[in-house]
């Protein structure tokens, strides 16, 4: 079933001097198995929006429907919503607190009162999904492993709840390039192999361009643009006005095209660019 968001409005601290309209009449749908990128300038409402999708925040106005669960300002959010929708926060490793990696990942499933053999099955599977070697790290302290591994442990903890929908808020923030590539590779696999519905919040246009089926651009609490990457990245001036850019490689390719090189202008990743340039160079040699 799709995720439906209708006329979602959220006001923080209503009626106080600090009142802030963080979401203003936002409506969209996300289909099963879609990979959606959520982008926008700082303060545009991305985190507020994703916290509504797993019931951490309730709408001031409007409604959200996830599977058979409807959330409005009146709703009592059912616990099972968190099983349907897994949310990985920014710097999720800050929430690791157990003594071992195993216990940290097992925390959620144990809270569901599952039998211990089912808990272990889930921990093993979640670790495999994020590329962590069960035997090598299960008994280690989350505080003595690398930053990239800690992040994987935190993501595994969410996956162990077996959500159908996974939301990741800046999952690569603060990681080195290798850690970033590894985490993004695992996320890509979760989508490709598991068919999970994924919502990725990111400031990196390159990451978004490389991974997602569709982009939602937020600006001042509203949806400014929505569509496939090539559609969204064709609105260069609007994106600039919102403090956003297109991937650098797209600029380079458009620059080459403007100077007469026969290249497409819908290139968003270095891999695509290399492929096209090699084709042109090889074509010339023949």
Ligand X SMILES: Nc1ncnc2c1ncn2[C@@H]1O[C@H](COP(=O)(O)OP(=O)(O)OP(=O)(O)O)[C@@H](O)[C@H]1O
Token reading at 217? 């651009």
The residue among 141, 189, 136 whose CA lies nearest residue 166 is: 189
Q: Which residues of 243-273 are buried (b: 16+ CB within 10 A; e: fewer)?
A: ebebbebbeebbebeeeeeebeebbbbeebb
Taking the complex as a whole, the smallest distance from the CB of residue 267 to ligand X amounts, in Å, to 26
User: How far is residue 101's CA from residue 127's CA, in Å, rounded to a whole number?
Assistant: 10
Taking the complex as a whole, the smallest distance from the CB of residue 48 to ligand X amounts, in Å, to 3
The string of DSSP codes covering 31-65 is: -TT-EEEEEESTTSSHHHHHHHHTTSS--SEEEEE
Is the distance from CB of 47 to CB of 101 less than 8 angstroms? Answer: no
- Regarding 24 and contact with ligand X (CB under 6 A), the answer is no
| Residues that contact ligand X, how many (by CB under 6 A) | 12
From 34, 48, 186, 253, residue interacting with ligand X (rule: CB under 6 A): 48
Taking the complex as a whole, the smallest distance from the CB of residue 202 to ligand X amounts, in Å, to 10
From 8, 47, 105, 253, residue interacting with ligand X (rule: CB under 6 A): 47
Stretch that binds ligand X, among 25-33, 40-48, 157-165, 241-249 (CB under 6 A): 40-48
- Regarding 281 and contact with ligand X (CB under 6 A), the answer is no
Taking the complex as a whole, the smallest distance from the CB of residue 5 to ligand X amounts, in Å, to 14
Is the distance from CB of 235 to CB of 225 less than 8 angstroms? Answer: yes
- Regarding 204 and contact with ligand X (CB under 6 A), the answer is no
Token reading at 97? 């607190």
Taking the complex as a whole, the smallest distance from the CB of residue 241 to ligand X amounts, in Å, to 16
- Regarding 43 and contact with ligand X (CB under 6 A), the answer is yes
C-beta closer to ligand X: residue 119 or 244: 244
From 42, 74, 113, 115, residue interacting with ligand X (rule: CB under 6 A): 42
From 5, 30, 34, 46, residue interacting with ligand X (rule: CB under 6 A): 46
C-beta closer to ligand X: residue 127 or 175: 175
Work out the angle at residue 214's Cα, subtended by the Cα atoms of residues 72 and 28, and round it to the nearest 5 degrees: 20
Q: 217 pairs with which residues across the strands?
A: 39, 225
Taking the complex as a whole, the smallest distance from the CB of residue 204 to ligand X amounts, in Å, to 12
Q: Put residue 33 in one of left, alpha, beta given phi > 0 → left and psi -120 to 50 → alpha.
A: left
- Given the rule CB under 6 A, which residues bind ligand X? 12-13, 20, 22, 40, 42-48
């Amino acid at each position: 079933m799709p995720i439906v968001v209708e006329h979602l409005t959220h006001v923080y601290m209503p009626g106080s001097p600090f009142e802030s309209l963080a979401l203003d009449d936002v409506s969209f749908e996300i289909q099963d198995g879609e990979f959606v990128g959520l982008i926008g300038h700082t303060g545009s409402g991305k985190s507020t929006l994703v916290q509504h999708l797993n019931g951490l925040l309730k709408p001031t106005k409007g409604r959200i429907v996830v599977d058979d669960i409807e959330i409005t300002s009146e709703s009592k959010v059912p616990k099972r919503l968190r099983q349907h929708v897994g949310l990985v926060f920014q710097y999720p490793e800050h929430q690791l607190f157990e003594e071992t990696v195993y216990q940290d990942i097992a925390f959620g499933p144990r809270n569901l009162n599952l039998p211990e053999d089912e808990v272990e099955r889930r921990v093993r599977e979640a670790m495999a999904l994020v590329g962590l070697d069960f035997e090598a790290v299960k008994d280690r302290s989350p505080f003595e492993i690398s930053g990239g591994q800690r992040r994987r442990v935190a993501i595994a903890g969410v996956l162990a709840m077996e959500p159908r929908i996974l939301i990741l808020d800046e999952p690569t923030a603060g990681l080195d390039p290798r850690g970033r590539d590894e985490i993004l590779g695992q996320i890509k696999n979760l989508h490709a192999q598991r068919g999970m519905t994924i919502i990725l919040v990111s400031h990196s246009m390159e990451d978004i361009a490389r991974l997602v089926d569709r982009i939602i651009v937020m600006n001042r609490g509203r949806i400014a643009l929505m569509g496939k990457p090539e559609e969204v990245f064709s609105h260069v001036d609007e994106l600039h006005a919102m403090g956003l850019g297109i991937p650098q490689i797209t600029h380079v390719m458009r620059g080459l095209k403007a100077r007469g090189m026969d290249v497409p202008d819908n290139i968003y990743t270095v891999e695509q660019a290399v492929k096209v340039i090699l084709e042109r160079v090889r074509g010339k040699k023949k």
